Structure formats: C-alpha cells, structure tokens
C-alpha cells in the first residue's frame, strides 16, 4: 500500500539528498569538542555522543546531516587511524590497565591487553600498538603492549622515550667481528710520523678525527696540513660496518651524552687520532696567501701520522689570552698553536670582507650527574682555539669541494640557497621599512646575500635579523656543486668528520677515486634522501629532549621570586616567545599577562613588536625580565610573565 506511495517516495528522496558522505580528518579544539576538517578547510562539529568513537587526526568518512539548521558530521567509516604504534604512560581505571598516549590532543581511554597488572606502575612508559578502533571494529579503543621503555621515576626517561618515538638507537652499534689492529691495504702512504701534528678538541672528546700541522714557506705564506682519520681503512663499502654507519647516518649528540655512528672500538679507539699512536690518514695540504686567500691548488694524499699532543680548547685559549697556568708541553707545540692562531685571525678577516659570517650564537651545556639529573645549564661560547680548528676545517672542505668538482663533477655538497625565493619581495619591504635598501634581483645571489649579512652583522641589535631569518632556507646535501650562502662560498663539501658523518665517508671514497684516478659510481639520490632524513630526525630529537629537560630543570623555581633576563625571540598574535639568556630555555608569555601590565598593549606581529605605552614599543631582540609562572609537563611548555 505504501511501497509506491508518491508522497513517501518524495520524502525519502529529500532525506537521502540531504545525506552527504565526505572524507576528512578529526581535529580537536577543547575537551570533548571534536570537529571534522575537509581538504577545503570546511569544518563540521561532531556530536558529543560520537566523540568516543574517534581520535584526533583520524582520517574518516562521515555523514553530513542537519540538526537545528546546523550541519554536523556523523562518523561512519575509519579510513586511516592516526594512532598505530605509539608511546604512552600506564594508568589505571577502576583497576583496569589503560594507556595515556604521549600526545596532548589525545584524551581517549585506551585499554591494554596485559593481565599481569602488577608488573606495571602508574606513570611507567611503554610502547604499544593499536588493535581495535570503535569505528572499525565495533569495540572499545584497545592496544597491545609491545615493550617497556622506562619506569616512572627513571631520570633517563626523556632520552629513552624520545629516541624510541623516532625509532633511533639509544646505544652504540654492535659489530659481529672483533678488530683490534689496522687492516692491511694497497694504499701508498707517506710516513709523516715525525711531524708535529696536534689535535685540539674538548677535554672529554675521544672520537678525534682531525689533526693539523702548519708551517710557513720562504715567502712567509702559511702551509697547512689537515690530516683526517682514514676511516675507510676499516669501513669497506658493502661491509657490516658500512651498513651500520649508513643506517645511522650521523653520531647523535644529545644533552648529557652522545650516541656514536660507529662502535666505540672504532670511533674512540682505532679510528681516533689519539696522541702518540700511529694512525692512517687522508691529508689535504694547502697554501694560504698573505692576504688570507686559499690557493687554488691543493694536494690530497695518504699518510701515516702520530699526533704529538691532545690539546683542549679551554687550555689553548687560556694560554693565548695569558690566563691560568697551563703551558704547551714544548716549544714545537707552542709554535704550532701560535701559527694556527695567526692563520685563524687572517682567515676570519678574509671571510668577513669576502664571504659571509653569521653572528656568534650562544650554545648551552647541560651538566648532568650519573643518575640523569640535570644539575645546571649554562651558556658556552666558542673561543679562539675553537676558531683555529674551525677555520682549518673550512679550508679543508673548500679544497675538497674544488677537487671533487674538477676531477669528478660531483660529490656530496652542502648547499644553502639563502632566502626562500617566494618571500623575496616581503624581505625587501621589511628591510625598506627599516631604512635598508636592497636590490630585489641581487638578494637571491651569493654576493647580494653576503652584502646584506655584513650590514646586519654591524647592527647593534638582532631585530632585523630576527625579522628575516624565518625566511631563510635550511642547508641540505646535493650531488652537484651549488653555493652555500650561509658560508658565502661557491661550493662546500665536508669530509673532515668521517667518524661522525656517513656523508664524509662517501666523500673520502670519492677523494680516493680522484687521487688514484679510479672510476666510481655517483652517490644515489636514495642515500642522500636518507642522510637528510637522519639529520632532520637527530635535530628534532635533540630539541625535544632539551625541552623536556628545561621543563624538569625549571619546575622547582615556580613560586619563587626568581627573574630571568630574556630576549624577545618572536612576537605572535597570542603572545610573545622569549629565550632565557643564562640557560637557553624558550618560554611563552600569553597576551592576557601582558595586557595586565600594559594598558596600551597592542600586538604588531608583522613588524615583530608590541606597543606598551604611547609611542613606545618592545620588539624582537629586546631584553626583558621574566618570571616563570607555570610549566605544562605534558607539552614541556614553559609559561612566563613579563616584569
């Protein structure tokens, strides 16, 4: 009777026409407030009764319906879950074991499979894998425990958790075959063991990969010999050790300790240029002219050396500055230090006039005890001894870039393109507002970039630098030579740290082919992509661990009248980011704190400043006093107030 009723068919057609299935991603705004975001940036609220079926960042199909003339999204099908294998903390809900994911936006209750609840405690860190999703399996959120990471009270949890999160190793690699001596090879090496090669590093450095020997010729020009550990003596292409080094990509330097690319028997012993030990090296011999220019010709060859002294940056700098009581062991070593110092000053002067040098930025040292507790964090600046070695390594890498281009036409080149070309007009306008006139067409050239850097370096504050630095590109690796704007160089190829960087191992092999005129296959884009990804991961891991340690270190001072001198790092719409000068921690000051102090408060994000009084502004680069008010340990976010 009603099957073909025209009125019912019309109503049914109207209803079905209103039901639209769309694909989108779940986003979270506030507690129990989820919405669906389409690619077109349209948003649809998800009713409260359905929020327990979805999770932040899930990709789903939802039905768009109307309730009270408002469009809502009803989750229908799970396309791709956000949470798969993840890290979280153990908790209990009515004696049932649950996991709280290490993600600020995920508050779903996720049950765990373990029946042995007594082996876990509240707050323990574990690795888990999602098994069931309500939208897909019609069951509660349910995860399987993969492995235990760290106990609640383990002070090393920041390292364990974050390294596991990014699937990076915590320990040194293990090799199946033991090697205790230098393998024999067919390379012809010069015996330079009588020359006074020296190394200068941090006092606790064990993986020493460079040594230097310097003298002057009859024209008073510097002749510099840069000896780099010939790690390829042990790391043969295609070997187990080569696979290990390639997989890790780099030595991972973290607060408190480092995780080596190679087993420590190699990085800290066999490959290390330890004092009074004969070691195989690859040497770059080059002349530096009286004006500081590097000679166009350099000579690469293999040799044996025996480092005559392991010096450290602090002692050498103190001696050159007539501080403290340390003295070089003999006159020959003293002469090496003096010559290296003179060369460094000459090269720095040359580079300031002809290339590009960024202003020195403070690094920070995390002083940690053996239990994993941070006892102090303090700034460290590079001193003259650091520059002596740095300038020597830059010279060596310039020479390598040149010979690789000349002999092969390719290599692993460090490339930096300066500013993102999409923002050149914006940069020009910012500079023009601040009375700096630059030519748009020249800003994307090496000479134009260097010229601008010189102007910025001569400024009293970092205001202009902070406004335009966000438009700079990151450095990366390429097969063919291109400029490195950051250094102001036509080309740059590193080979001076083969114990710590796999890219340098590759360049060693390419230099070998140049010396012996052997044909060699070009490095693949796959290996370059892998190395770029490794470097990026290491950088993220280091930053995340530092943020966690800063939050832990500064939490005890909340409520105390302790004020920190800080630099305004960035002005954004909802507040300002500041960097604490004496420890390097980043803190955030929300707008409502600033408004309480300054009635005329007005944000000007575009110009990196905010109004505090009539015609008076604070801007990026200015120093202010702050007090830490609150620390969110889940996000490792430091909230401060301005004083």
- DSSP characters over 185-207: -S---EE-TTS--EEEE-TT---
Cα 116–chain centre separation? 39
Residues 564 and 591 in one domain: yes
| Domain span at 148 | 85-154
The answer to whether 505 and 451 have CB atoms below 8 angstroms apart is no
Which element (helix H / strand E) includes 513? helix 502-516
Has residue 382 been placed in a domain?
Answer: no
Query: Could you tell me the two tokens for 640?
Result: 């401060």
Nearest to 410 by CA among 331, 572, 528, 570: 528
Residue 415, pLDDT > 90, answer yes
pLDDT exceeds 90 at position 534:
yes
For 293-302, the pLDDT digits (tens) are: 999 999 999 9
Instruction: Using a pLDDT cut of 70, give the percent of the chain over it.
Output: 95
CATH code of residue 42? 2.40.50.140
Q: Is residue 146 part of a domain?
A: yes
Mean local confidence (pLDDT), 494-500: 97
Mean pLDDT of 245-260: 94
Inter-axis angle of helices 384-407 and 502-516, to 10 degrees?
50
DSSP secondary structure code for residue 173 in this structure: -
Q: Which of 154, 177, 208 is the last residue of a domain?
A: 154
Nearest Cα neighbor of 488 from 617, 352, 355, 342 is 355
pLDDT value at 443 more than 80: yes
| Residue 133 located in a structural domain | yes
Integer Cα distance of 603 and 399 in angstroms: 49
Distances (CA, A) of 544 to 127, 382, 566, 639: 18, 24, 21, 17
Give pLDDT, residue 144: 94
Q: Are residues 595 and 578 in the same domain?
A: yes
Q: What angle do CA 47, 52, 54 make, to 5 degrees?
A: 85
Give the C-alpha separation, 360 to 233, whole Å: 37
The residues that are catalytic are 201, 207, 209-210, 313, 500
Give the pLDDT confidence score for residue 4 in this predicted structure. Answer: 60
Query: 199 in a domain, yes or no?
Result: no
Residue 70 has pLDDT above 90, yes or no: no
Whether the pLDDT of residue 358 is over 60: the answer is yes
Element (H or E) spanning 625, and its range?
strand 623-632
pLDDT, average across residues 163-171: 94
Q: What is the pLDDT of residue 595?
A: 85
| Number of independent structural domains in the chain | 3
Strand locations in 467-547, DSSP E?
476-478
* pTM over the 0.85 mark: yes
Q: What is the pLDDT of residue 185?
A: 78
Residue 594 falls inside a structural domain: yes
Domain of 118, CATH number, reads 2.40.50.640
**Same domain, yes or no: 47 and 101:** no
Which residues sit opposite 129 in a β-bridge? 85, 144
Q: Tell me, what's the pLDDT at 175? A: 87
| For range 514-539, the mean pLDDT | 95
Answer with the one of 96, 126, 154 that is the final residue of a domain. Answer: 154
Q: Give the list of residues 6+ apart from residue 350 with CB closer than 8 angstroms, or none.
A: 291, 292, 293
Which residues are CB-neighbours of 68 under 8 A, at least 6 positions away?
none
pLDDT given at position 533: 96
Same domain, 97 and 133: yes
What single DSSP character describes residue 486? T
When the pLDDT of each residue in the chain is averaged and rounded to a whole number, the result is: 91
Residue 302 has a pLDDT of: 97
Q: What is the pLDDT of residue 2?
A: 45
Q: Do residue 89 and residue 75 come from a single domain?
A: no
What does the pLDDT look like over 4-32, one tens digit per residue?
656 545 444 544 445 678 999 999 776 66
Q: For 383-398, what is the mean pLDDT?
A: 97
Collapsing DSSP to helix, strand or coil, 426 comes out as helix
Average pLDDT over residues 370-377: 90
Q: Which residues contact 507 (CB under 8 A, 6 or more apart)?
A: 400, 404, 411, 412, 493, 494, 495
Give the pLDDT confidence score for residue 325 in this predicted structure: 84
Check whether 164 has a pLDDT greater than 50.
yes
Q: Does position 472 have pLDDT exceeding 70, yes or no?
A: yes
Cβ neighbours, 10 Å, residue 543:
12
Three-class SS state of 466: helix
Q: What is the pLDDT of residues 265-293, one digit of tens each?
A: 999 999 999 999 999 999 999 999 999 99
Amino acid 360: pLDDT? 78
Q: How many residues does the chain have?
A: 643
Residues 605 and 568 in one domain: yes
What pLDDT score was predicted for residue 253?
Answer: 94
Q: Considering the domain boundaries, does residue 605 fall inside one?
A: yes
220: left (phi over 0), alpha (psi -120 to 50) or beta: left
342-354 pLDDT, tens digit per residue, is: 999 999 999 988 8
How many helices (H) and strands (E) in the chain?
14, 31
pLDDT over 70 (residue 637): yes
Residue 307 counted as domain residue:
no
Confidence of residue 371 (pLDDT cuts 50, 70, 90): confident
pLDDT-derived band at 117 (thresholds 50, 70, 90) equals low
- Report pLDDT for 180: 67
Measured in whole angstroms, how far is the alpha carbon of residue 389 from the centre of its chain?
Answer: 22
Average pLDDT of 242-256?
95
| CA distances, 440 to each of 431, 432, 459, 464 (Å) | 11, 11, 21, 17
Q: Average of pLDDT values for 473-497?
A: 95
H or E segment to which residue 593 belongs: helix 591-597
Indicate the residue among 118, 135, 154 that finishes a domain: 154
Q: What is the pLDDT of residue 259?
A: 95
Residue 374 lies in a domain: no
Query: Which range among 2-11, 43-52, 375-384 shows the weakest confidence by mean pLDDT?
Result: 2-11
Residue 439 has pLDDT above 50, yes or no: yes
């Amino acid at each position: 009777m009603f099957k073909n009723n025209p009125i019912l068919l019309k109503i049914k057609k109207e209803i079905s026409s209103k039901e639209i299935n769309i694909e989108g991603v779940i986003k979270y705004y506030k507690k129990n407030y989820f919405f669906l975001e389409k690619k077109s940036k349209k948003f649809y609220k998800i009713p409260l009764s359905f929020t327990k079926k979805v999770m932040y960042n899930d990709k789903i199909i939802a039905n768009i319906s109307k309730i009270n003339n408002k469009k809502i999204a009803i989750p229908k099908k799970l396309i791709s879950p956000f949470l798969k294998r993840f890290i979280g903390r153990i908790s209990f809900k009515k004696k049932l074991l649950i996991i709280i994911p290490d993600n600020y936006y995920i508050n779903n209750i996720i049950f765990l499979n373990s029946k042995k609840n007594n082996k876990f405690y509240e707050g323990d860190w574990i690795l888990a894998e999602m098994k069931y999703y309500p939208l897909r399996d019609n069951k509660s959120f349910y995860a399987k425990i993969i492995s235990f990471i760290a106990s609640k009270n383990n002070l090393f949890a920041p390292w364990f958790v974050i390294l596991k999160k990014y699937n990076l190793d915590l320990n040194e690699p293990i090799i199946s075959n033991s090697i205790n001596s230098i393998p024999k090879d067919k390379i012809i090496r010069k015996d330079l063991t009588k020359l006074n090669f020296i190394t200068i590093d941090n006092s606790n450095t064990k993986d020493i990969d460079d040594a230097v020997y310097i003298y002057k010729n009859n024209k008073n020009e510097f002749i510099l010999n840069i000896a780099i550990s010939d790690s390829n003596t042990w790391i043969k292409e295609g070997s187990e050790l080569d696979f290990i080094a390639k997989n890790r990509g780099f030595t991972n330097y973290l607060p408190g300790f480092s995780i080596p690319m190679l087993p420590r028997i190699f990085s800290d012993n066999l490959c290390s240029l330890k004092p009074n030990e004969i070691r195989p090296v690859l040497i770059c011999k080059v002349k530096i002219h009286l004006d500081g220019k590097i000679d166009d010709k350099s000579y690469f060859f293999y040799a044996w050396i025996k480092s005559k002294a392991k010096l450290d940056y602090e002692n050498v700098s103190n001696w050159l500055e007539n501080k403290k009581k340390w003295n070089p062991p003999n006159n020959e070593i003293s002469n090496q230090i003096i010559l290296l110092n003179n060369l460094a000053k000459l090269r720095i002067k040359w580079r300031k006039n002809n290339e590009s040098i960024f202003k020195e930025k403070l690094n920070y040292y995390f002083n940690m005890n053996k239990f994993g507790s941070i006892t102090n964090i303090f700034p460290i600046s590079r001193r003259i001894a650091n520059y002596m070695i740095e300038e020597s390594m830059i010279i060596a890498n310039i020479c390598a870039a040149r010979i690789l281009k000349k002999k092969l036409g390719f290599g692993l080149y460090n490339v930096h393109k300066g500013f993102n070309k999409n923002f050149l007009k914006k940069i020009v306008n910012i500079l023009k507002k601040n009375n700096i006139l630059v030519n748009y067409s020249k800003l994307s050239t090496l000479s134009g970039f260097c010229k601008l850097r010189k102007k910025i370096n001569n400024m009293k504050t970092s205001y202009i630098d902070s406004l335009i630095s966000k438009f700079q590109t990151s450095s990366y690796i390429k097969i063919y030579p291109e400029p490195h704007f950051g250094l102001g160089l036509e080309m740059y190829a590193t080979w001076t740290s083969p114990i710590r960087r796999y890219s340098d191992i590759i360049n060693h092999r390419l230099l070998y082919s140049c010396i012996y005129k052997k044909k060699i296959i070009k490095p693949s884009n796959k290996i370059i992509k892998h190395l770029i990804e490794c470097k990026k991961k290491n950088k993220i891991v280091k930053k995340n661990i530092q943020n966690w340690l800063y939050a832990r270190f500064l939490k005890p001072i909340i409520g105390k009248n302790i004020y920190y001198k800080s630099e305004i790092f960035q002005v954004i719409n909802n507040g300002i980011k500041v960097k604490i000068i004496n420890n390097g921690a980043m803190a955030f000051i929300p707008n409502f704190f600033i408004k309480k102090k300054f009635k005329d408060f007005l944000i000007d994000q575009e110009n990196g400043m905010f109004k505090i009084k009539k015609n008076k502004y604070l801007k990026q680069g200015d120093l202010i006093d702050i007090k830490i008010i609150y620390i969110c340990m889940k996000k490792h976010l430091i909230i401060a107030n301005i004083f």
